Structure 1
Amino acid sequence: MVVVLRYVDKKGIVTKRFLGIVHVANSSTLSLKAVIEFLLCKYALSLSRLRGQGYDGASNMQGEFNGLKTLILKENKSAFYVHCFAHQLQLTLVAVANKHTNIAEFFSLVSKIVTIVGASCKRREFLRNAQLVKITEALNLGELESGQGLNQETSLKRVGDTHWGSHYRTIINLILMFSSTINVLEMIEKDSLLSEQRVEARSILRLILSFEFSFALHLMKNILGITNELSIALQKKNQDIVNVMTLVRMSKQPLQMMRDDEWEALLTEVSTFCSKHDIPILNMEEIFVVGVRP
């Protein structure tokens, strides 16, 4: 467990200092509290003088009845608990997105893609080489610009519900590496020694080479792109709750504009992506048939 102190010095400046890393035998609240008390005593600090505490959103930390923050508050009513703004935003976005079945299914599929593509060094190397070829071709055709900081090596990383911006970064990288990812999945379907892996790769290919997946990919890219800017702003050291509420209101405006006026732009973006990757584009004038039992 990492422990960091934040305090106001004699000049009135808020200062952060790394206190130490402590090994904990288990993650029970009593064990964590005992370790914190031990570390504070080691440096002649008292729990009674604590004026704030902050952790991630795990239940053993912020639990209402037996969480670490609750145990400390029972001893010291002035140790107010503050949840990190950016961390709260990330958890809220994940919870809301997963309430929509199609989007929850989309993120589950993205997680499977990352897992199967990065399951071995051979596959990761194949992905890296395939992406290098794509970038070289795009540079030669003038589709990409070269320069310092451009076209850096990217990779597909597993999304984490508690990792700031991880969903957004994974979606961006998947869009950039879509063709290379398809190549890896086709390689697995063709050459894998295990029939289960061949079947899984074929199933994932069938799902991601669809208009529905492309639509969800770009929809969430645009939505999380807006909230990612808010997340970055919330991580600034000088942020306060009044300014945070203003930032939230400002972020809601482009989301509402996207909902009201940007349907055609999103549809054009998705259709362009589908054309580039030979994905069948839906005809919006056709009768829509729900693919479930009548």
Structure 2
Amino acid sequence: MESLLIKYGLSISRIRGQGYDGASNMRGLNQERSLKRPADVRWGSHYGTILNIIVMFSSIIDVLDFIREDGLTSEQKAEATGLLDTSYVNNFIFNMHLMKAILGVTNELSIALQRKDQDIVNSMKQVEIFKKRLQMMRDNGWKNLLEEVSLFCSNHGIEVACMNDMHILRGRSRRKASEITNLHHYQVDLFYNIIDMQLQELNDRFTETTTELLLCMESLNSSNLFCAFDKIKLVKLAQFYPLDFSSVDLLKLDNQLDNYIFDMRSSDDFAYLKGIVNLAKKLVETNRHIIYPLAYLLIKLVLTLPVATASIERAFSAMNIVKSRLRNKMGDL
């Protein structure tokens, strides 16, 4: 949809009641908001785009209707006509509201994972909240989503698809179409299927062991005078690396961490540090990596873990389905 409007020379904005000069400029345009192309790995950018589409939907339909009647080429007119087809619009609106619901749940998790200070404890809490909210949406959210879609269609004068009718995929004849109802298509193939993939991906990525590992890592956080320090968790963290910490090393680490944390909290060099990377640098600068070799080894091992936020976001293959497959169904936003 956006590609057509861009090709036609329009920057999507609130255009109702405003002039268009037939080229690439809007006359008297007061752009209150516009659609931005979503970033590849930023869930929040997709969420913001969808919210803008919902708010600007009437204006977008006006633009498409204008292109259908007065497009510069027959291809543009045909594409606008296809986008305005009732069956396409119903799919578009449902997918749009489904994405809004799911990305609305994930938005805080996305923000938490993007934080530069890697607030792992709160991130893990957001993961658990995300799982529970998704499960609640799956169990009880279908009726609310369908009502929201129906109300949106009613407010914009769009005929709502009858859930008991047979669903026909665009581009396929009725003879070759699979025998499923609209209810099955929207509720099972889309609603349940997408949510199940989100839950499965989260369970696979954040197992009990992985979550415990990440929470133990937070004990190395140097912020606020090492307030997150927990010796028991750090020894447990070392146990995840049996090739690097022998049984004897674990006993040494237990004692070394007492000296380490006393030194860190009493030294001005470490008073205002933020982040494990800066902690590692300061340990080397002050030669304390030699004094506390086991603690420093633990820090180095933690820094090699793939916890960079962009890497975590790219890992959610199920989220890629929301961002790619459903986004393409919505007209390659």
Q: What is the TM-score of this pair, normalised by structure 2? A: 0.44
Structure of higher RCO (CA pairs closer than 8 Å, 6+ residues apart): 2
When Rg is computed on C-alpha atoms for both structures, the one with the higher figure is 2
More strand by share: 1
